Chain A
Amino acid sequence: MKPQNKLKKLGCAAIAAAAFAVTLPVAQAEDTLFIPSLTYRTGPFAGGGIPFADGFADYFNMLNERDGGIGGAKLIVEECETAYNTQKGVECYEATKDKGALAYNPLSTGITLALIPKAPVDEIPVFSMGYGLSAAAIGEKFPWTFVYPTTYWNQLSSILKYIDANGGLKDQKVGFIYLDVGYGKEPLPLLENLSGTMGFELAKYPVGVKEMQNQSAQWLNVRKDKPDWMIMWGWGAMNPTAVKEAAKIRYPLDRFIGNWWAGSHNDLKAVGKPGKGYMAANFSGIGQDFPAVQDILKHVVEKGNSKVASADDVGNVLYNRGMFNAVILAEAIKVAQEMTGKAAITGADMRVGLENINLDEARLKELGLEGFTGPIKGSCADHEGAGSVFLQQWNGEDWEKVTDLIEPMNDTVRPLLEEAADKYVSDKPDWEGQTCT
């Protein structure tokens, strides 16, 4: 995204927000459900944070407009700005937790790690959708943390499975280019482990946060090492830079696969045509051709209650992911309401709701999200829901879904996740897990 565009977009968002602020008084219904939304509409990653926050807020607004909330209780979404900064994130948590917060979406690995130990104490679940600590998938050890629909590790195993199915992985050289922070380093233990068992050679290319936009050194090494496949764990400005550099050294882009934070419209629009062929993982449908998205357009966007700059932004990758985050929370609220029999639930009820979530094909169709994502079923032990990812490919102008859902290698990854969870708990003698029957 060009800086001017970004500024313009921010400006529009601000104006839209101001207009929104004037026209909509806060309705205090009898029963309310309070959902804090930690956003990063400002700061270095705002380009990715804005569509996500829009999708998240719009879905809940749509439920309020269309159904009058969930189970008769109105939803109140309060945004708190973190600018992707851990300290501000913790401040947001402290500021909103006493208002009856049902769940937190920290949206940054740093904030997630800070909130995980606090969740059991304050009895508010942390829902880090597909990011954060992979080990949190183990429900016995992390009763208050959820990572539906999948983890970084399982996603990586899906990508490797795709490579294996398209030419084999044995004796191949796989390059891994990653942002050199907690987020990017998270899959390394699994990669190192699998490179032994699956018999591929691993080459690592770390990219420091300060050199996100200058990766010539890394790609020079790629040209020298000639890996057969490239996998990327990137974010923000790192993604378009990497794809541009790959195109520059004529690396075959259809053998270059990003994770789900490295495949948004923002990233590839900045590259445009030369990025044709680049692949990325995703778990939320692309585009507006889903009844639920149409409802958002009808009930929220067309009434001018959305913060999106234009209706075209609805349906892009990150917008739909923010919406999907809201879908899972809304479903958990519904489950919790059914199980407890009350409309205004608490954080502890929400935990039970999240644990018993069951988004099967039929339910997805009911929600107007048929084919949007794979089925997710949680349980006491499984806080990951065995979700799958699919791969999408950039055709020069837009993303296209090119594979079916690829199931992760649960048999291989699950024991490793359990090991990691044990390690996390090992130096915390007073950590409280739960026993699952």
Chain B
Amino acid sequence: MFYREAGQFKTTYEADQAMLPIAQDRVGLLLILLIAFAAIPLLASDFFISSIMIPFLVFALAAVGLNILMGYAGQLSLGTGAFMGVGAYACYKLATLFPDLNILIVVFLSGFFAAGIGVIFGLPSLRIKGLYLAITTLAAQFFLEWCFIRIGWLYNYNDSGAIEVPQRMLFGLAITGPHATPITRYLVILTIVAIMTLVAANVLRGRIGRSWMMIRDMDIAAELMGIRPLFSKLSAFAFSSYYCGVAGALMVFFWLGSAEVESFDINHSFLIMFMVIIGGMGSLAGCFMGAAFIWVLPVILRAIPSAFELNILAATMEHISSIIIGALIIFFLIVEPHGLARLWRVGKEKLRTWPFPYAT
């Protein structure tokens, strides 16, 4: 009943091929955007914006990047953290080398460096697949981490080996650095993430995205049908690494304010992979659900004791939240191995036929 598209007639090819063919979806997305762009900046507290929404968006963008590679093109990667690092260090170098360049241009440019590195480490994917490919991307992770420690030029020979974000302005407002308010930083990130997700959605629906999915489903068949594996696989690596790189740059410049190499370690690669798996491989909405599940839920769980004046030690709460999240991950993977996005799709089907469960 709720998702019934009866009565929505499509009279043009454009309408039939629209990104969101069902009116309810369009309304829903508009509502979400309205909440994100208007309600949250107006109503939410600084803590909610800077510690929940900003990291959530950063991780969601990184998850989109990995999902393109893992969910759509079927190439396993454990180098996400390092590719984010490439973006962050590139952004830092560009921002300090060209202080007058607009920071948003710098952020978008830095993604290209990550894409380039991603292509180089994607080359083995032409020969090997699956877990073996995961191991070569693991090499990327370790090698790049080594670079971030050893190559002093990357962090301008800073004594502590960290990169620190300089202040940059946009329309007379500080958008990076300590003077930038959480709301400005949030709106900048939100705009970038929204635009990039839109681009990803359209690329995935188009010729390139379809060629990735063909490679994922059966690479030999895809090759026989005229898809070039070299181009498809490497473009997937480039596209995915670009997204991860921008996410890394956003993470350092708009969230943390400074970063050491630990911010890009293997644990982050795993974290983002979990987001993709929990959210649902091959689904953009799933990336956002996964990021919310893995990042936002623990923060909310940790905030519960102080909200209800319960006197539980912070460390105890940390253990409890790990236990709860772990249990929930197992629960969701048993109930729906294809992730939260699949759960939502099933729910949509149910809503469509409700209240007649057997109608088709």
Chain A residues engaging chain B, CB cutoff 8 angstroms: 13-14, 17-18, 20-22, 24-26, 39, 41-42, 78-81, 83, 85-87, 90-91, 94-95, 98, 109-110, 113-114, 117-118, 120-121, 133-135, 180-183, 185-186, 188-189, 209, 307, 420, 423, 427-428, 430
Contacts and interface: CB of A to CB of B under 8 A. Distances in A.
12 contacts: A14-B315, A17-B312, A18-B316, A81-B314, A114-B258, A117-B177, A117-B257, A186-B159, A423-B159, A427-B96, A427-B156, A428-B167
Contacts of A14: 313, 315-316, 319
Contacts of B167: 428, 430
Given A18-B316, A81-B318, A117-B177, A110 B311 contact: no
Nearest to A41: B315
Interface residues of B, number: 43
Given A83-B318, A87-B55, A134-B159, A17 B313 contact: yes
Contact of B51 (A21, A91, A117): A91
B303 interface: yes
A118 B256 CA distance: 11
A78 B47 CA distance: 17
A188 B149 CA distance: 14
A113 B159 contact: no
Contact of A118 (B161, B257, B261, B313): B257
Nearest to A423: B159
Given A90-B256, A91-B51, A182-B160, A428 B166 contact: yes
A117 B256 contact: no
A240 B299 CA distance: 34
Given A113-B162, A113-B164, A180-B149, A24 B311 contact: yes
Interface in B251-273: 255-263
A110 B262 contact: yes
Interface in B305-327: 306, 309-319
Contacts of A17: 312-313, 315-316
A134 B312 CA distance: 35
Nearest to A21: B311
Nearest to B179: A121
Contacts of A86: 256, 259-260, 262-263
Nearest to A93: B51
Nearest to B295: A87
Contacts of A118: 178, 257
A42 B51 contact: no
A98 B313 contact: no
A345 B167 CA distance: 30
Contacts of B50: 94
Interface in B32-73: 46-47, 50-51, 55
Interface-central residue, A24, A188, A189, A209, by most chain B CB under 10 Å: A209
B51 A135 contact: no
B315 A13 contact: yes
A114 B256 contact: yes
Interface string B239-260: 0000000000000000111111
Contacts of A121: 178-179
B241 to A, nearest CB: 22
Contacts of A21: 310-313
A307 B313 contact: yes
Nearest to B49: A94
Contacts of A114: 256-258
Contacts of A113: 160, 162, 164, 258, 260
A117 B178 CA distance: 6
B315 A117 contact: no
A109 B312 contact: no
Given A14-B319, A41-B318, A114-B257, 14 more contacts: A20-B311, A79-B313, A79-B314, A86-B260, A86-B263, A109-B160, A113-B160, A113-B162, A118-B178, A133-B159, A133-B160, A180-B149, A181-B260, A182-B260
Given A86-B259, A86-B260, A182-B260, A135 B316 contact: no
Interface in B149-203: 149, 156, 159-162, 164-167, 177-179
A42 B299 contact: no
A58 to B, nearest CB: 14
A181 B262 contact: yes
Contact of A185 (B55, B159, B299, B311): B159
A181 B314 contact: no
A236 to B, nearest CB: 13
Contacts of B255: 90
Interface-central residue, A14, A95, A98, by most chain B CB under 10 Å: A95
Contacts of A428: 164, 166-167
Contact of A110 (B178, B260, B303): B260
A22 B316 CA distance: 14
A257 to B, nearest CB: 22
Nearest to B299: A91
Nearest to A135: B159
A394 to B, nearest CB: 29
Contacts of A18: 312-313, 316
A79 B260 contact: no
A22 to B, nearest CB: 8
Nearest to A85: B262
A118 B185 CA distance: 15
Contact of A95 (B164, B260, B303, B312): B303
Given A91-B51, A98-B46, A81 B317 contact: yes
Contacts of B46: 94, 98
A418 B179 CA distance: 25
B256 A80 contact: no
Nearest to B257: A114
Given A110-B262, A117-B177, A428-B166, A20 B256 contact: no
Contacts of B263: 86-87, 110
Interface-central residue, B159, B165, B258, B306, by most chain A CB under 10 Å: B159
A427 B313 contact: no
A117 B310 CA distance: 33
A346 B50 CA distance: 23
A135 B302 CA distance: 34
Contacts of A80: 314
